[in-house]
């Protein structure tokens, strides 16, 4: 039985029979992996990938971003090889803003490369800066400690969404933040997703975070990695802090924890 929904909608992202070896095929980090995300126009999806450290979560994102090619298999965006389509936005755990540029310059950078005139790209960038709660910081340099870690991640999210609002890859973007900032960023991301409806592929180690943000959770087994579990998160479309107090939310977190333990036993 397939782990992926079979619907009439095309897939926006497809990874087919992916293998990854770094020693000429003597051993495989990833083997026979399939991963598909359905295209839901005007709705988007929030897909979360869980797995033990070293299971290849970040590598999957790198494939989709076009930053790495697998040893074997296909990586398709809208049915086309990654090299034939524009690359998608990606937010890393490490702060990725250009520190010699201001917040405004960082957020509008992709629009500059797209040839959009200065007035229009500034207007669009300022709208996004306001959306992520950075209004008043646009002329500050995007560097620590001028901006906090949470603010720097807001810059990265704003820049990525403005560059390509359709697909956003996030590799443990809140992992280095303190708990209060992390919770604030979760709420902010949930609100942004409701406004723009992108397809988000989100890697995290935090199970409660996965359940709070995700529509669907996929779990990777360890090497050789492949996806072995799919959990559909049947929570309300609009989620708030109150969602985390819902007994069903707690039940889902415990269920995913149990699934993670079972997958860890697979080796």
In tens, the pLDDT along 157-206 reads: 888 888 877 889 999 989 888 999 999 999 999 988 888 888 999 999 99
Q: What band does 4 get if pLDDT is binned at 50, 70 and 90?
A: low
Statement: residue 1 has pLDDT above 60: no
Sign of CA dihedral 8, 69, 26, 220: negative
DSSP, res 225: B
pLDDT of residue 183: 92
pTM: 0.90
pLDDT of residue 234: 93
pLDDT of residue 9: 73
pLDDT of residue 107: 92
DSSP string, 80-142: EEGGGSPPPEEE-SS--S-TTSBHHHHHTHHHHHTT--HHHHHHHHHHHHHHTT-TT-TTSBS
In tens, the pLDDT along 28-87 reads: 999 999 999 988 877 889 999 999 888 889 999 999 998 899 999 999 998 888 876 666
Query: Percent of the chain beyond pLDDT 70?
Result: 95
The domain spans of the chain are 91-163
Least confident of 3-17, 41-55, 120-134, 155-169: 3-17
Q: Are 254 and 208 in contact (CB under 8 A)?
A: no
Q: Which residue has the tokens 């990854």?
A: 20
Least confident of 11-20, 91-100, 117-126, 230-239: 91-100
b/e map 236-266, b = 16+ CB within 10 Å: eeebeeeebeeeebeebbeebeebbeebeee
The answer for 14, left when phi > 0, alpha when psi is -120 to 50, beta otherwise, is beta
Statement: residue 2 has pLDDT above 70: no
pLDDT of residue 102: 94
Q: Is residue 220 classed as helix, strand or coil in its secondary structure?
A: strand
Q: What band does 16 get if pLDDT is binned at 50, 70 and 90?
A: very high
pLDDT of residue 135: 94
Give the rounded distance of the alpha carbon of 123 from its chain centre. 26
- Show the DSSP H helices in 179-246 as ranges: 179-196, 207-213
In tens, the pLDDT along 197-218 reads: 889 999 999 999 999 999 999 9
């Amino acid at each position: 039985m397939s782990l992926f929904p079979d619907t009439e909608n095309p897939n926006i992202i497809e990874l087919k029979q992916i293998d990854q070896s770094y020693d000429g095929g003597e051993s495989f980090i990833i083997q026979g992996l399939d991963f598909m995300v359905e295209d839901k126009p005007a709705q988007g999806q929030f897909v979360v990938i869980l797995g033990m450290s070293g299971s290849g979560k970040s590598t999957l994102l790198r494939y989709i971003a076009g930053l790495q090619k697998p040893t074997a298999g296909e990586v398709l965006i809208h049915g086309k090889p990654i090299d034939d389509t524009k690359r998608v936005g990606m937010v890393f755990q490490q702060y990725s803003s250009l520190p010699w540029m201001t917040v405004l310059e960082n957020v509008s950078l992709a629009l500059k490369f797209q040839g959009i005139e200065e007035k229009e790209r500034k207007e669009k960038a300022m709208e996004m800066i306001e959306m992520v709660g950075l209004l008043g910081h646009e002329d500050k340099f995007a560097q620590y400690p001028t901006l906090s870690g949470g603010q720097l991640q807001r810059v990265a999210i704003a820049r990525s969404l403005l560059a390509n609002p359709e697909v956003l890859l996030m590799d443990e973007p809140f992992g280095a933040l303190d708990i209060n900032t992390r919770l604030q960023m979760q709420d902010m991301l949930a609100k942004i997703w409701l406004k723009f409806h992108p397809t988000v592929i989100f890697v995290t180690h935090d199970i409660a975070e996965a359940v709070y943000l995700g529509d669907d959770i996929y779990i990777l087994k360890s090497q050789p990695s492949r996806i072995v579990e799919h959990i559909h998160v049947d929570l309300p479309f609009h989620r708030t802090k109150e969602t985390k107090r819902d007994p069903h939310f707690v039940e889902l977190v415990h269920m995913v924890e149990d699934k993670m333990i079972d997958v860890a036993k697979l080796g």
